[in-house]
């Protein structure tokens, strides 16, 4: 089968292709992923101009530990499968990630995609699961209140991005800034009441609450509660590498909804402080 790879320049075309192939990601979510790294999303296009496949390898820039990349949005039209398109898209993205200095590359794989990633040198590190809240939002019982929660203001964004980078392992400033701009009324920051330092933050998107990053359970719980009260979606994607996240979600009324992916890594171990990541921004972005 003949096809050519190209960098995606039209997020709306990409969103239409994904929607036609069963994706629940809306145009705004797709556009946010492309904007997070404008050179990181690729299309496979046939001679007739039809899109046959797509995939992203988003490179999050250096935060003193080296760049860090996430693979996501890999999809191939059923009529074009078994012609090497998914592998070609993946290798194109991985080559660019290597040029950009990304030592660690992570992804959340479906059962269908996992064999491809294993064959390209990825290894399993955890099972990532989506959790959903059925009832009213609540806080865990007991304990002294160590943090105060406030809506994120524009003057705090740079401080918040500096807080996030060493915990995530690289700077994902374009993605976080776009999420905050899309839903400013559902973005919150936690401050330690004793020191006045940032102790966590929470953004929300169309389908999930996240990124959710915090230094301890109480900050994460209060951020999640504030987001829920503001109308955020009752779903969180837990990476699987922070056991405190799953215990916390269970304690405040969340339960796995049965949707899981294999969290896989190529290269060194996950950078940053994975124990501070209570909720991913998206399986496709990290």
Phi/psi at 24 (5° precision): -95, 0
Same domain, 198 and 69: no
Same domain, 33 and 165: no
Same domain, 138 and 238: yes
Same domain, 9 and 119: yes
Half-sphere exposure of 205 toward its Cβ, with a 13 Å CA cutoff?
29
Same domain, 110 and 163: no
DSSP secondary structure letters along 161-194 = HHHHHHHHTSB-HHHHHHHHHH-GGG-EEEEETT
CA 279/CA 211 separation, integer angstroms: 5
Which of 104, 126, 148 finishes a domain?
A: 126
Express as a percent the part of the chain with pLDDT over 90.
92
Express as a percent the part of the chain with pLDDT over 70.
98
Which of 103, 126, 149 finishes a domain?
A: 126
Which of 126, 142, 164 finishes a domain?
A: 126
pLDDT digits (tens, 9 = 90+) for 102-113: 999 999 999 999
Same domain, 179 and 159: yes
Q: Which residues pair with 202 in a beta bridge?
A: 188, 212
Query: What is the predicted pLDDT for the residue at 72?
Result: 96
Which region, left, alpha or beta, applies to residue 240 given φ > 0 means left and ψ of -120 to 50 means alpha?
left
Which region, left, alpha or beta, applies to residue 177 given φ > 0 means left and ψ of -120 to 50 means alpha?
alpha
Element (H, E) at 89: helix 85-99
Q: Is residue 285 part of a domain?
A: no
> What is the pLDDT averaged over residues 259-283?
96
Same domain, 145 and 261: yes
pLDDT digits (tens, 9 = 90+) for 65-102: 568 999 999 999 999 999 999 999 999 999 999 999 99
- The parent domain of residue 214 ranges over 131-279
Two tokens at 243?
């056991």
Which region, left, alpha or beta, applies to residue 145 given φ > 0 means left and ψ of -120 to 50 means alpha?
beta
CATH number (domain holding residue 57): 3.40.630.30
Q: Is residue 102 part of a domain?
A: yes
Same domain, 29 and 158: no
Q: Is residue 286 part of a domain?
A: no
Same domain, 106 and 231: no
Same domain, 166 and 43: no
Residues ≥6 apart with Cβ < 8 Å to 248: 140, 217, 220, 221, 224, 278
Is the confidence at residue 135, as pLDDT, over 80?
Answer: yes
pLDDT digits (tens, 9 = 90+) for 199-241: 999 999 999 999 999 999 999 999 999 999 999 999 999 999 9
> What is the pLDDT averaged over residues 143-150?
88
Is the confidence at residue 142, as pLDDT, over 90?
Answer: no
> What is the pLDDT averaged over residues 3-21?
97
Place 155 in a pLDDT band, splitting at 50, 70 and 90.
Answer: confident
Closest CA to 203 of 225, 182, 186, 222: 186
How many domains does the structure of the chain reveal? 2
pLDDT digits (tens, 9 = 90+) for 157-203: 899 999 999 999 999 999 999 999 999 999 999 999 999 999 999 99
Same domain, 143 and 256: yes
Query: What is the predicted pLDDT for the residue at 154?
Result: 76
pLDDT digits (tens, 9 = 90+) for 244-269: 999 999 999 999 999 999 999 999 99
Query: What is the predicted pLDDT for the residue at 46?
Result: 97
Same domain, 175 and 267: yes
């Amino acid at each position: 089968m003949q096809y050519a790879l190209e960098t995606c320049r039209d997020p709306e075309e990409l969103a239409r292709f994904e929607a036609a192939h069963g994706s629940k990601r809306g145009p705004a979510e797709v556009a946010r992923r492309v904007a997070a790294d404008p050179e990181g999303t690729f299309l496979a296009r046939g001679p007739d101009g039809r899109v046959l496949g797509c995939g992203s390898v988003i490179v999050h820039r250096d935060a003193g530990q080296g760049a860090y990349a996430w693979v996501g949005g890999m999809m191939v039209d059923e009529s074009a499968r078994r012609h090497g398109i998914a592998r070609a898209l993946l290798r194109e993205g991985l080559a660019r990630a290597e040029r950009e200095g990304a030592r660690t590359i992570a992804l959340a794989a479906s059962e269908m995609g996992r064999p491809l990633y294993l064959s390209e040198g990825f290894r399993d590190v955890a099972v990532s699961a989506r959790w959903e809240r059925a009832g009213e939002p609540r806080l865990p019982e007991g304990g002294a209140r160590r943090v105060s929660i406030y809506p994120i203001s524009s003057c705090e964004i740079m401080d918040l991005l500096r807080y996030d980078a060493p915990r995530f392992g690289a700077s994902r400033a374009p993605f976080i800034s776009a999420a905050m701009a899309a839903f400013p009324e559902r973005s919150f920051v936690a401050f330690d009441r004793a020191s006045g330092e940032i102790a966590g933050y929470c953004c929300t998107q169309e389908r999930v609450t996240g990124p959710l990053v915090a230094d301890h359970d109480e900050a994460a719980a209060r951020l999640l509660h504030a987001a829920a009260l503001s109308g955020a979606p009752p779903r969180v994607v837990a990476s699987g590498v922070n056991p405190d996240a799953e215990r916390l979600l269970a304690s405040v009324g969340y339960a796995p909804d049965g949707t899981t992916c294999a969290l896989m890594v190529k290269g060194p171990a996950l950078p940053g402080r994975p124990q501070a990541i209570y909720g991913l921004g998206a399986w496709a972005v990290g």
